[in-house]
A and B are shown apart, each in its own frame.
Chain A
Amino acid sequence: MSPPLPRADRRSFLRATASAAATPFLVRAAGAEGSPAQARAGTHEPVDVTFHVNGRDHQLSFDVRASLLDLLRDRLGLTGSKKGCDHGQCGACTVLLDGRRELSCLTLAVAAQGRAITTIEGLATNGDLHPMQQAFIDHDAFQCGYCTPGQIMSAVACVNEGHANNDADIREYMSGNLCRCAAYPNIVDAVKQAKHVMKTASRE
């Protein structure tokens, strides 16, 4: 099942022109057919994988080299996860895989098959913001906003892990998310507020 396609905006225009121009260097992932060496020789087909993203299944055919981040953004239109450094240094691409925070830029999409993926788009329930999203708004915990989806996903996991016990802990366990605007003090305040709300919610 496909997600609703974005409108014909700048991003989809760029995507369409890029795919028309790109040479399809594609290889096939190992399937049932033959040994690795046999399958490797002369196969130039995309891999077919089912992804579980934000509670929905998506069957996609793609280049085996694709990162999970590129797949989420370019194929599923889930552009909340951001590409900052693309080398696992900034945390802007943080998503939850089976509930754990991981970096989608360093995850080969093909290796994420079978795992439950949650992105920033999957946090709200029935239109109600997640307590962490609301806390970031309440505490003005961002300026330009580019790192924010990664910060929020990381913060949700930080609380769930039990690593948000005090300011020093929050700073330590959020150190994988860089904020060039340096909204760090407000982010710590937001995490503390959301932690309280999340705890209360889980008791109800």
Chain B
Amino acid sequence: MRTFFYERAASAAEAVHAAAAIKDESTSYLAGGTTLVDLMKLDVMRPSAIIDINPLQRTHLGNIDLGNNGLRLGALVRMAEASDHPEVRNRYPVIAQSLQLAASQQLRNMASLGGNVLQRTRCTYFRDVAYAECNKRIPGSGCAAIGGFNRRHAVLGTSDRCIAAYAGDFGQALVALDAAVEIAGPHGNRTIPFAALHRKPEDTPDKETTLDPAEMIVSFLVPAAAWTRRSLYLKVRDRDSYEFALASAAVALDQLDGIVRNARIALGGVATVPWRATEAEAALRGKSINQQNAAMAADAAFANAKGYGHNNFKIELGKRTLQRALLQAAALEI
């Protein structure tokens, strides 16, 4: 591991100012460290400076607040804290389930929510510096996964520069629930839709988010909408526990008398970013959820999907995952 400068911050303002003062884009905030320390050992991430923001857990960044308007999750809340929270489980089940079905309990105790959404892809060619081609690691170097072993890679949102899948689960729940993310930066705080946080690879796969240097996530704001209670996360994977998704679906439904007023759908394991399936949502509006309509929505969600060889199966698997998630969500007794 390369050397780095280490500093502990006591407040968000202190952390942001320290990061801004270093004027080096490799500077990283350290929360749980489950991505950062792993990738530093692999020499994939090479921060010259680390700002340890764990002391901020004692501030509002470590709090879960539930009100009539919605849910506020501090960025330093640990995955296990949010997934075990009784009211989160009851009122925002897709959030609790997406966290509970990810990683192991040790990792869930460590990993922060802010760090979770910023976790890096599990693409083997990204994680192994022995491969010279990776546009995420070395812009312009090429993509070894296109034409390489790409069973776990994305079929939605890819480009000819990168097909790495977004590995997280919680991000899909946030997209489905129309959450916002509050961001602190050198010039103050700003709030954006969570769906605007991640960038598709397009021509610059090395730029994964719309965060500016020195900015940090402060909290997630989830509105108390009509669809939050009838929500779930379905994750399909090679093992039944402690594994990344091959395909997953976060679904939230607002139904009246069996007719969908609003469907909110995000897909995981199959896309380069937490993927909102707007076409599938539109296909379900005003309809009841049955086998036929669920299949039609799934077809709409994957209409523009593109397989790269080993991952072709993900198109059918993703459709079936979404169908099952929709049917289960529609049948929930709430």
From A2-10, A24-32, A116-124, A131-139, the one touching the partner chain is A24-32
Bound Cα distance from A47 to B6, whole angstroms: 9
Mark contacts of B25-62 with chain A using CB atoms, 8 A cut-off: 1 yes-contact digit, 0 otherwise. Answer: 00000101110011001100000111110100000000
Bound Cα distance from A87 to B110, whole angstroms: 14
Contact A37–B21 (Cβ < 8 Å): yes
B292 at the interface (CB under 8 A from A): no
Chain B residues near A27 (CB-CB < 8 A): 3-6
Chain A residues near B84 (CB-CB < 8 A): 161
Size category of the A interface is 35 or more
Q: Given A88-B34, A154-B106: A111 and B54 within 8 A (CB)? A: yes
Contact A154–B8 (Cβ < 8 Å): no
Bound Cα distance from A111 to B112, whole angstroms: 14
Chain A residues near B51 (CB-CB < 8 A): 36
Contact B48–A86 (Cβ < 8 Å): no
Bound Cα distance from A80 to B30, whole angstroms: 27
Mark contacts of A94-128 with chain B using CB atoms, 8 A cut-off: 1 yes-contact digit, 0 otherwise. Answer: 10000011110011101100000000000000000
B13 at the interface (CB under 8 A from A): no
Contact B37–A108 (Cβ < 8 Å): yes
B1 at the interface (CB under 8 A from A): yes
Contact B105–A101 (Cβ < 8 Å): yes
Of B6, B106, B110, B242, which one neighbours A30 at CB under 8 angstroms?
A: B6
Contact A37–B22 (Cβ < 8 Å): yes
Interface residues of B in 127-179 (CB under 8 A from A): none
Chain B residues near A64 (CB-CB < 8 A): 3-4, 6
Chain B residues near A15 (CB-CB < 8 A): none
Q: Name the residue of chain B whose CB is nearest to the CB of A176.
A: B104
Query: At the interface, is chain A mostly helix, strand, loop or mixed?
Result: mixed
Of B41, B80, B104, which one neighbours A86 at CB under 8 angstroms?
A: B41
A91 at the interface (CB under 8 A from B): yes
Contact B49–A40 (Cβ < 8 Å): yes
Q: Given A65-B1, A111-B33, A172-B241: A102 and B6 within 8 A (CB)? A: no
Contact A108–B107 (Cβ < 8 Å): no
**Within the complex, what minimum Cβ distance (angstroms) separates A2 from chain B?**
24
Of B1, B5, B30, B32, which one neighbours A40 at CB under 8 angstroms?
A: B5
Contact B6–A175 (Cβ < 8 Å): no
A158 at the interface (CB under 8 A from B): yes
Chain B residues near A19 (CB-CB < 8 A): none
Chain A residues near B54 (CB-CB < 8 A): 111
**Within the complex, what minimum Cβ distance (angstroms) separates A116 from chain B?**
14
Chain A residues near B6 (CB-CB < 8 A): 27, 29-30, 47, 64, 108, 110
Chain B residues near A28 (CB-CB < 8 A): 5
Of A43, A94, A163, which one neighbours B106 at CB under 8 angstroms?
A: A94
Bound Cα distance from A149 to B150, whole angstroms: 36
Of B49, B80, B105, which one neighbours A36 at CB under 8 angstroms?
A: B49
**Within the complex, what minimum Cβ distance (angstroms) separates A173 from chain B?**
5
Chain B residues near A101 (CB-CB < 8 A): 105-106, 109
Interface residues of B in 241-277 (CB under 8 A from A): 241-242
Contact B103–A30 (Cβ < 8 Å): no
Contact A106–B241 (Cβ < 8 Å): no
A67 at the interface (CB under 8 A from B): yes
B18 at the interface (CB under 8 A from A): yes
Contact A173–B105 (Cβ < 8 Å): yes
Q: Given A36-B18, A175-B241: A106 and B4 within 8 A (CB)? A: no
Contact A37–B23 (Cβ < 8 Å): yes
Contact B48–A40 (Cβ < 8 Å): yes
Contact A102–B5 (Cβ < 8 Å): no
Given contacts A86-B41, A91-B104, 5 further A-B contacts (CB under 8 A): A27-B3, A65-B3, A103-B34, A106-B32, A171-B241
A-B pairs with beta carbons under 8 Å apart, 9 shown: A27-B4, A27-B5, A36-B18, A39-B5, A64-B6, A87-B42, A88-B37, A91-B106, A176-B103
Residues on B lying within 8 angstroms of A by beta carbon are 1, 3-8, 18, 21-23, 30, 32-34, 37-38, 41-42, 48-52, 54, 80, 84, 103-107, 109-110, 241-242
The 9 closest A-B pairs by CB, nearest first: A176-B104, A30-B7, A175-B241, A40-B5, A175-B242, A29-B6, A27-B3, A100-B109, A65-B1
